[in-house]
Structure 1
Amino acid sequence: MPTLPWTVPDTPPAGAEAHVFASRFETRTLWGALRFLVRTPAVWRQAGRAPGAYGASLRAQPLRRTFWTLSAWESEAALKDFARSGAHRPASRTLAAQMRDVRFATWRTPTDELPVSWEEATRRLT
């Protein structure tokens, strides 16, 4: 699966700050990677219409059992609302047992600097 391009559900206001969230998931097995992939479309659709979402992208290497997410939000509260609702909530709960390694990074950046590069996200996740 190629990297899904940066998608902008809500155009961020110029001169504001965004709450950026990056994650890296490594599943224990290829079965876990397949389960992650099966749930991806519903969560991706949810992100595409989530209130306060300024942008999102996904990078997947299913044969390596590794997935990355990168998103920008109006606020930490908007991100939490997304994570605790819709398709994301049951997907994250169901997939938790499939994970071997999980990493998260959050930071703030000016909206004028969106989208954040994958290189920056990777640096912050290591």
Structure 2
Amino acid sequence: MTEKIHLTDAEWRERLSPEQYAVLRQAGTERAFAGAYDQNKAPGLYRCAGCGEPLFSSDTKYNSGSGWPSYTAPVADEAVEEVRDASHGMVRTEVRCAKCEGHLGHVFPDGPRDAGGLRYCINSAALDFEEKP
């Protein structure tokens, strides 16, 4: 079980950029094709921009054409939490960081079938990238 971190709203605002705060703490969404990591093809590890927890590997990243970085799986099942999201007139599955509970994006059942069939559609603003040397 991942140990949770809890910060006040003021501490989150101090730690995050306005865009990161809007995504991670207010469940916002960046514009399609505007994020820093949508087209990133470098090998490495994607960490939570809020707490640094490892979330996704470049090994599971693929170009879904959606305009957001897409992955077939997190680095570990316990790295993320999935929560039912009935906002905006639709039912989806929200993906959150298991450590800081920051909103990352959503998971959909339309990913590559040969890799499990899931598409973790994640906001670049919710991520920091650590390139492999």
Provide TM-score, normalisation by structure 1: 0.28
Higher RCO (CA < 8 A, seq sep 6+)? 1
